Amino acid sequence: MSERRITASDEQLDGVIRRVLSVYRSWGRNTTVAQMRADWDALFGGQPLEAAVQAVTIGGLKAEWIAAAKANPQRVVLYFHGGGFQVGSVHSHRELMAGISEATGCRVLGLDYRLAPEHRHPAALDDACAAYDWLIAQGTQPVDIVFAGDSAGGSLVLAALIKLRDAGRALPTGAVLMSAWTDMTAAGESYVSRAESDPIHQRPMILAMARNALGADGDPRHPWVSPLFAELHGLPPLLIQVGDRETVLSDSVDFAAKAKAAGVDVHLEVWDRMIHVFQQFPDDLPEARDARRAIGAFVRSLFSTPSITRKS
């Protein structure tokens, strides 16, 4: 975003890219899924936290409460991590969740939903909706909940909202999406226009992850799989952040346009020069810190505005 006063240097940005590519390029045909998950956790996990962490179990799945100092115990961000539905965990995203807790003043609940290929669609979606049900059963009201997620987790946020809306359920008060994967057919124009500028994700890789997540019989155009193809009326306010050099840029831009046309309150932020889920690198990228502050401002604004119970 050009109006930002401080931006990452080329050296800072290239350093982040090298760290990510060092993991991707270490994987080959013989690399096991278990090794990929361990490598992903090692890349993003292990950072020092200024937040309290409490392990919980939701329907047999691991989850964690992350609470920064002075977080309001009544307000909850339910977080779904990215990783192409195959890698990622609450461990890999713990620092990001802690940053979101600090920025929003909310507790964050992160879920280790089931992953492919052991558990293909709709396992992750079922787990996401079950976590929402668990929160409500604990006494948290929908108006005190915001969904958030990155990449595949952003897709999961939207799919859960659409499924809950279709069931006539009360929806959370809003949602935050970072580099959301909204189209498993990878048909957006940015898969061509950003192919050279995106150092990490290319269309063949995206399609391979989609096949792995769905299985041979999965429909990549199903609205609970690719939210871009869903009817989008009745969704709560959305904040969508995406980097300008991402091949999945169209997933955010096209979804935002369609949601706005359906009457959804959408705030789209396209960040200059930024890569996939750049918000995970606050020590390296000033834009990551700014984006987290923008998430905090958005969520705080939702809770400062009187809400109504949303149904389809």
Among residues 91, 93, 201, 276, which one is catalytic?
276
Looking at domain 47-304, its CATH architecture is 3-Layer(aba) Sandwich (3.40)
**In the chain, what are the domain boundaries?**
47-304
| pLDDT tens digit sequence for 85-107 | 999 999 999 999 999 999 999 99
| pLDDT tens digit sequence for 230-282 | 999 999 999 999 999 999 999 999 999 999 999 999 999 999 999 999 999 99
Residue 38 in this model has a pLDDT that exceeds 50: yes
276 in catalytic set: yes
64 in catalytic set: no
Beta strands in the chain (DSSP E): 51-58, 61-68, 72-80, 106-111, 145-150, 174-178, 238-243, 266-271
C-alpha–C-alpha distance, residues 199 and 246, integer Å: 8
Q: Read off the pLDDT band of 310 (50, 70, 90).
A: very low
Among residues 151, 179, 250, 252, which one is catalytic?
151
95 in catalytic set: no
Residue 309 in this model has a pLDDT that exceeds 70: no
Q: What are phi and psi of 54, to 5 degrees?
A: -130, 120
pTM of the model: 0.95
Predicted pLDDT at 2: 42
Among residues 246, 250, 252, 287, which one is catalytic?
246
**CA dist 39 to 160, 231, 296, Å?**
28, 37, 30
In terms of Cα–Cα distance, which of 59, 36, 240 is closest to 154? 240
Q: Read off the pLDDT band of 5 (50, 70, 90).
A: low
Predicted pLDDT at 64: 98
